[in-house]
Chains A and B, each alone.
Chain A
Amino acid sequence: MQRNIVTVAPSASLFEARDRMREGNVRQIPVTGGDGRLAGILSDRDIRGAVLPGGLVPGFSAEDAEKFLKDTPVGKVMTRKVITATLSDTLEDAIVLMHDFKVNALPVVDRDGKVVGIISRTNVLEAFIDVLGIGEVSSRIEVIVPDKPGTLAQLAAIISSFHVNITSVLATGHVEAGKRANFFRIATLNVAPIKKAIEEAGFEILDPSRYTL
């Protein structure tokens, strides 16, 4: 989560909230009271939605919109029912929450309801990039294995016999029943002998030219 967060008071104007969001380059901003406790959340969409009805009035100018933003307090527009994460929630919890409740960001609150951070979709994507080892200098190999215990250990042993580091592993289901797919990112350019050894051990290497990008 991000610990340096931009917040805004319910009494602040939408104009000020928009400025803070722009400065912090965020699209959601937790709304906190004087005690630091979470009072709501405001998104750039909430602000646009609040201005929109005025835009339908004939003669509504940019100046009128600015005046409206300056005159309207955040507390009037914010979402009060906020989906939050707690400090003891895991990254998995956060991903499921964001998916199930269709939210773009989760304020993180402590036991007292004080906001201590925020997790955005961008943070989740960063975690995925990290976990998948994307951007680390490496090669990827895909192995189809029978769905039984011990195969991952066997593959890891083969790779380690080449003195090559595994930088990430992903083991998932496979379209074929009774099989699973294991994806390895390994820190070597020289993949040919490793692929050969894996095939000689009886595993199937997925030919990348057989799937479409």
Chain B
Amino acid sequence: MKRLAFAYHPDYLLHAPPFEHPESPERLLAIVERLRTAGLLDRLIPVTPDYAAEEDILAVHGREYLEKLESACRRGDLTLDAEDTYLNRHSYNVALLSAGGAVAGSKAVAEGAADRAFCAIRPPGHHAGREAGMGFCLMNNVAVAAKYLQARHGVGKVFIVDWDVHHGNGTQSVFLEDPSVFFFSVHEHPTFLYPGTGRRWEIGKGKGEGTTLNAPMAPGAGDDEYRLTFEEMLTPAVERFRPEIILVSAGFDAHRDDPLADIQLSDEGFRFLTRRVAELSDAYCGGRMVAVLEGGYEIGSLTSCIEIHIRELLGE
């Protein structure tokens, strides 16, 4: 059995929408409750996140954007730009704490306190670019974690797997020209789904050419198509890149019950995704793997898939 760190903070619930919105505190409440009733919570190593340090955030985001975000929260703005990305007066601090959750999980794994980590954090992060939050995301949690591991723990090469149903445009933009971080995203085809990027020829730029890989999936694709993509694209990419750790932008909105997209993964599909990435981390990076929560908006499938995800990470 693997030692699995679980990063969570009750203050994650303070970032709450001022109007009806799918990215709500209830998502995390339901996840924690599910893990408790399944008897899993006691088997995890609790990790209490702190606010991400300024220099760790500044490795990903510009100071100008952070100031804009902070003052918008202080002013009481309801949204960052459009209603997708809402704010309340806690949002800036909760975003720092969310990135801090990804950092805390990464720290536990990097220092050997745990083999793997799951970070139950929100707001999500993978759409947030250097100078702009969007698509429910304020700060790019997984990108902050990757930079943190490199700066503070001497990690050289980081591999990010993003299986949220939406393309991780923010993460891609942060690492587009960075050959030390491989970004792999599998998502619904950009013609049909937000944000409209992640086409198959987006493979990185300059020195980073070849360390970005996108797998756009046709609407209606499901377990079989994802399995094939993991075998034919993800596995060889990890084998070639030889990362020291794998981070996962773990969204659960590619589930067939999720209302925001057209991908048809089943619970068992998510079991396969988790298991395959765990196997790759065992084979190539000493088992080091950190998953951070991104999307997933249908409470039933979100909680059942996360239970499966946790069980797989524990290596039951």
Contact = CB atoms under 8 A, between A and B. Distances in A.
A140 B194 CA distance: 7
Interface string B91-116: 00000000000000000000000000
A153 B159 CA distance: 47
A163 to B, nearest CB: 5
B137 to A, nearest CB: 9
A139 interface: yes
A84 B310 CA distance: 65
A192 to B, nearest CB: 4
A139 to B, nearest CB: 4
Given A135-B197, A207-B262, A213 B83 contact: no
Interface stretch (A1-9, A50-58, A182-190): A182-190
Contact of A189 (B195, B219, B221, B262): B195
Interface in B189-235: 189, 191-197, 218-221
Contact of B192 (A134, A140, A188, A212): A140
A208 interface: yes
Interface string B115-145: 0000000000001000000111000000000
A174 B16 CA distance: 42
Nearest to A142: B192
B83 A208 contact: no
User: Which DSSP category, helix, strand, loop or mixed, fits chain A's interface?
Assistant: loop
A208 B82 contact: no
A188 B127 CA distance: 12
Contact of B219 (A165, A188, A209): A209
Range, interface on chain B: 20 to 34
Contact of B82 (A163, A185, A207): A163
Contact of A208 (B135, B192, B195): B192
Contacts of A187: 82, 84
Contacts of A170: none
A185 B194 CA distance: 9
Given A137-B169, A164-B83, A213-B218, A208 B262 contact: yes
Contacts of B136: 189
Given A137-B134, A137-B135, A163-B83, 13 more contacts: A136-B196, A137-B194, A137-B197, A139-B196, A140-B192, A140-B196, A165-B82, A187-B84, A188-B194, A189-B166, A190-B83, A208-B262, A209-B219
Closest CB pairs A-B (n = 6): A209-B220, A208-B219, A192-B259, A209-B219, A139-B194, A189-B194
Interface of A: 134-140, 162-165, 185, 187-193, 207-210, 212-213
25 contacts: A135-B196, A135-B197, A137-B194, A138-B194, A138-B195, A140-B191, A140-B193, A164-B83, A165-B82, A188-B82, A190-B22, A190-B83, A190-B84, A190-B260, A191-B260, A192-B260, A207-B219, A208-B192, A208-B262, A209-B218, A209-B220, A209-B221, A209-B264, A212-B218, A213-B218
Interface of B: 20-22, 82-84, 127, 134-136, 166, 169, 189, 191-197, 218-221, 259-260, 262, 264
